[in-house]
Amino acid sequence: MKEIYLDNSATTRAYECVGDLVRKVMCEDYGNPSSVHKKGMEGERYIKEAKEILAKLWKVQEKEIFFTSGGTESDNLALIGAARANRRAGNHLITTAIEHPAIINTMRYLEEEGFRVTFLPVDRFGRVKLEALRKALCADTILVSIMYVNNEVGSVQPIQEAAGIVKAYNKNILFHVDAVQGFGKYRIYPKRLKVDMCSVSGHKIHGPKGVGALYIDGSVKIKPIVFGGEQQKNVRSGTENVPGIAGLGLAAKTIYKNLDEKVAGMRALKEHFIEGVSQIENTKIHGMYDETSAPHIISVGFAGIRSEVLLHALEEKGIYVSSGSACSSNHPQVSGVLKGIGASQEYLDATLRFSMSEFTTREEIDYTLEVLKELVPRLRRYTRR
């Protein structure tokens, strides 16, 4: 049976070169980077090289990059660490209603700590309403967090405009971006965007799981949320995951080679898929699907079929997709993103996410469309009985 993987927003297959490097670091250059002997210095060198790669890609300083266990920890550190460190300046935080659970649930936690959080509405395409952002800003606002690309519907947020609004109101308000889905698809320059903190994850860019990075502008006050041996300037203690960090660095370097060509390929496949799937009756493409949207994410509602049913029917044909954010898939619930964009009731539990990578082929998309055109009418007939 063919295996067609269209769940790349959940995780990606690692580059072969990344897998080889991770194994080498684990099994050969395995020294603790805090050790002062040669083996330790080998480990430290991998960390330095990864920082050099990210610093060059982001046009920031190496000392402004910190490694974490993934996008979730990067988001937690940015929000909790910055909110606590700047509490004397105010207790108001702003985010959007369609953020990843790593942001939404962290903001809920901060509400329990006494912070006031505003969740901004989005339009029907999943883009934050900038006028709502303007109105939400106040003297007590200390932090705004808006994602770069929405992980469910692929909407790209107007980060530069939003950050400009925030900084024009008060240049001391911190601006954080969860760029987990945007990194590796867009060239992101935090300082140019007026972004103070930026989170990314290794396994979304053909790197290892369990490793991420957080850019923190050198002027930002932040408190640690993990305590221990004071590694990484005491911002994130704990022995560094050297194999993961090395893999993250190499994955980042690799994914940005010929980036425009890779993105154009994914966008062409996205357009082809949307053209084909739109021929199926009672389907709905959520969010934007032109060039203002992410090149790799397609959210499709299939009225009359529960998403879980269609997901497993596709799985039986060797096609792997998602019913939404993989981070909340173990706890099925109505998507806050779909509700946020005002999706019709008939699509709230009838939507699948198809997400591609540079390895996705036209043949795979054609096969998926062929299977959908066979399965969807049949499952609808079965559901009506």
- Kindly report the CA angle at 57 between 294 and 104, in degrees rounded to 5? 50
Q: Give the orientation angle of helix 259-277 with respect to helix 362-384, to 10 degrees.
A: 30
Q: How far is CA 243 from the centre of its chain?
A: 21
The closest of 218, 272, 216 to 74, measured between CA atoms, is 216
Contact 194, 161 (CB under 8 A): no
* Cα–Cα distance measured from residue 190 to residue 193, given in angstroms and rounded to the nearest whole number: 5
Pair type for strands 116-120 and 197-201: unpaired
Q: Which tokens go with 321?
A: 């997709």
Q: Which of 210, 249, 240 is nearest to 70 (CA)?
A: 210
Residue 134: name the closest of 80, 98, 173 by CA. 173
**Residue 327 known to be catalytic:** yes
Of the candidates 17, 27, 138, 327, the residue annotated as catalytic is 327
Non-local (6+) Cβ contacts of 293 within 8 A are 154, 155, 156, 287
* Residues known to be catalytic: 327
